[in-house]
Amino acid sequence: MFTMEIGLIMLFIVLMVVYDWLKSRRLLSGLHKKAVFITGCDSGFGNALAKSLYTRGVPVFAGCLLKTSATKLQEETGNSLRTVIIDVTDKDSVTRAAQYVKDNLPDDSVLWGLVNNAGVLDYLAPLEFLDKRDFLHLLDVNLFGTLEVTKAFLSMLKWSKGRIVNMTSINADVSIAAFGAYTVSKRAAQAFSDTLRLEQAAWGIKVSAIKPAFYKTNIISSEMVEEKMTRKWNEGSPEVKLEYGEGCLNKGYDAKFTRCLTFLGSTVVDRFMSRAMKFEPKLMQSDQ
């Protein structure tokens, strides 16, 4: 009898694990009525996600900073995907984008997902080479931009009880030399996501964060690393330059780091898809 009870308990546990696994892989129904707004669609993850969702029949509003990027994305998708010009650091631009989405939702559709993907990595140098303006610039896009976009779209998401997916970074957990300002901005964005998740649960909104490792996108490449380090070196004081020595920024950072970059693949896009469109999304996941 005792052995039979243990067997039944084990069977129950196995069935629950299988059920949870199947539920986690199940896509929501009616994707054609669940619109998604994505920032940072000029290139990289945002661009790839917009195309991926569009091919699945999801109504996509792709936020681009540049008109040329928006036009190219529309041409690549047969001019059917809607693009929205948005500067996440400009509150008026964010407000106009939110109103455009609200006014142009397809019939019988709701805004189901918001993907805060826009981000910058403009300064790569030891902290001694950085000043307050450098930190504020990164925070303006990576943190405050996410804040303003989220606030502008929250009322629509409360109505649909939808999803918010924020792009943070592996740097939200791991500090890397020369990435100090970027790390601060991404840890702040992670803390914002964690707090937002707790607060919006009352409205049925699920908030997720994705923390990708290093992929070759327009935000980071070997050429970009070298250019940004050279720029900060040139701006450094004579005293700090003398202490560090000529060529110190590229030595050890450029060659070693850029060899670790991975080409943009489907992994991170799949993570976005999972958070936005699966029945039971994971709240956080690092892609390391």
Would you call 235 helix, strand, or coil by DSSP?
helix
Least confident of 131-135, 169-173, 192-196: 169-173
pLDDT in tens, 120-165: 987 778 888 899 999 999 999 999 999 999 999 999 999 999 999 9
CA gap 186, 188 in Å, rounded: 5
Res. 288 pLDDT band, cuts 50 70 90: very low
Identify the pLDDT of residue 268.
Answer: 58
User: Is 182 considered catalytic here?
Assistant: yes
- Give the DSSP H/E element, type plus range, for residue 71: helix 67-76
Identify the pLDDT of residue 222.
Answer: 62
Q: What is the mean pLDDT of the chain?
A: 81
Res. 191 pLDDT band, cuts 50 70 90: very high
pLDDT at 214 over 60: yes
Q: Where are the domains of the chain?
A: 27-282
CA gap 236, 249 in Å, rounded: 11
CA gap 258, 280 in Å, rounded: 35
Identify the pLDDT of residue 175.
Answer: 85
CATH number of 27-282: 3.40.50.720
Identify the pLDDT of residue 152.
Answer: 98
Which of 182, 215, 244, 253 is flagged as catalytic?
182
Buried b / exposed e along 210-223 (16+ C-beta atoms within 10 A): bbbbbbbbebbeee
